[in-house]
Amino acid sequence: MAVSRRAAAVKVPVEPAGSRLVIISNRVPSPRERGPRAGGLAVALQDAIRVRETLWFGWSGETAAPEAAARLVAQGPTTYATIDLAEADFRGFYRGFSNGMLWPLLHARVGLSEFRRSDLAAYMAVNERFAAALAPLLRADDTVWVHDYHLIPLGAALRALGVRNRIGFFLHVPFPPPALYECLPQGERLLRSFGAYDLIGLQTARDAGFLSDALAACGVARRARAFPIGIDPDDFAATARRSAGGRDTRRLVDSLSGRSLILGVDRLDYSKGIAHRIRGFAQLLRRFPQHRNEVTLLQIAPISRGDVPEYRSLRRELDELAGRVNGEHAEFDWVPLRYLTRTVPRNTLAGFHRHARVGLVTPLRDGMNLVAKEYVAAQNPEDPGVLILSRFAGAAERMEGAIVVNPHDPDEIAEALHQALTMPTEERLARWQSLRRSVWQDTAAEWARSFLAAIEVPREALAS
């Protein structure tokens, strides 16, 4: 592994086979994280970058007085290039505009969003800094692929520096209907910056439609297209099989004493609808008392963005709600809800998924939601569990076979849970077969392949 503080010092193959892929995401996994535990984008892109020379550029995750040039670390065919952010930039760009304004807005929670002109200025400035540090590293035939809401104006900032490469953009989170998007002050400025991209991808046809409408309304001649992200289902299924026989899953199973397991797995985020889910579960216990002392809901929700105020208040709300539900329903030999804010390793989770009779995935709004796909991949084909899925997860657009619910109605969640817990085997098998087809069709590898195939066409064929 070669480590260098300067671009010029890094050795790259003189004449690469084919053009290079350049990925830009807000966070670049640190060398320690780059492995089976990395999750997220690293997993989704692993097939694309395994065989192709790749430059992966982004924020190091560190706050420090920034240097102009990126730090480079080469690992196999991939070179990771990172820059630090100044503390003030981190606050304005990341905590402020990206996570305090854009995240809630794009998840249709305008009431939670907080706009400050200084945050928007930091957001634009950091995107310009990214562009200035990246541009000298680019080669003429690189394909550039920008990821997610932190970096919407990056393409335009690169163009302003004279970069003429193919540049694509993928938004991992939803896009709201134009009437909501309009709430964003200076929102047209961001929309116009989409005009710099040769290809714009979103998770679902519905979100692509909303963004295309917003772009058309402000005169940007670009249409967004749907590229549903997925997982590596064979890999996750194999991990689940292994892990289900391991020590942690056995301990979990023993502790349930024969009760059915309902499983929720999320980052602790208000978009995931965790409080609504717990209320739905409590409603199951009230309305369908035959399940009392027969089921356990295990909710695993490690803390994320703990320095953003809304996330701290969400945590307080969930602490109180979990205590109340257990106080009301627990018996001396049964605690209905197990609520963990600690992280559980991915491999262990895979075994838990396999054992869960019900996968309960009820976000209020979600770009895709990969947990739903992981739940399906982890099941035992002879005796699969049932997926309950919010209609507001992007995953619902192509996952027939789930019980689809509106998470705003606790009674609907309760009824779906009752249906799932009492579902005859043939129906469980038929639903899972249908879900399996979709998870094995819309994989991570296929997502990356189709996006890159759509952008790596002759210039004149690129959509305008």
In this structure, how many other beta carbons lie within 10 angstroms of the beta carbon of residue 329? 18
Residue 223 near ligand ADQ by CB under 6 A:
no
CB of 210 to ligand ADQ, least distance (A): 15
Phi, psi of 181 (to 5 degrees): -60, -35
DSSP code of residue 146: E
Task: Output 86 or 454, the one with its CB closest to ligand ADQ.
Answer: 454
Please, which of residues 238-267 interact with ligand ADQ by CB under 6 A?
A: 265-267
Is 366 annotated as catalytic? yes
Tell how strand 143-147 and strand 54-63 pair up: unpaired
Nearer to ligand ADQ by Cβ, of 133 and 360: the residue is: 360
306 counts as binding ligand ADQ under rule CB under 6 A: no
Name the nearest CA neighbour of 138 among 55, 198, 203, 59.
Answer: 55
Give the strand pairing for 295-300 and 337-340: parallel
Among 295, 318, 371, 413, binds ligand ADQ (CB under 6 A): 371
By CB under 6 A, residue 195 contacts ligand ADQ: no
CA distance 271 to 185: 22
Does the annotation count 107 as an active-site position?
A: no
Distance between CA atoms of residues 268 and 347, nearest Å:
19
Active-site residue identified among 107, 172, 291, 353: 172
Of residues 72 and 455, the one with the C-beta less far from ligand ADQ = 455
CB of 160 within 8 A of CB of 189? no
- Total of residues contacting ligand ADQ (CB under 6 A): 22
Closest C-alpha among 177, 60, 182, 81 to residue 136: 81
Binding string, residues 162-181; x marks residues near ligand ADQ by CB under 6 A:
----------xx--------
- Residues 105/113, Cβ–Cβ less than 8 Å: yes
Do 203 and 230 form a contact (C-beta atoms < 8 A)?
A: no
Which listed range, 45-53, 79-87, 324-332, 360-368, lies at the site for ligand ADQ (CB under 6 A)?
360-368
Tell me the β-bridge partners of 285: none
Q: Is 368 in the site for ligand ADQ (CB under 6 A)?
A: yes
The footprint of ligand ADQ on residues 326-355 (CB under 6 A) is 343-344, 346, 349
Residue from 99, 369, 390, 438 binding ligand ADQ (CB under 6 A):
369
- Total residues belonging to the chain: 464
Residue 66 is a binding residue for ligand ADQ (CB under 6 A): no
Applying CB under 6 A, which residues contact ligand ADQ?
39-40, 172-173, 229, 265-267, 300-302, 343-344, 346, 349, 366-371, 374
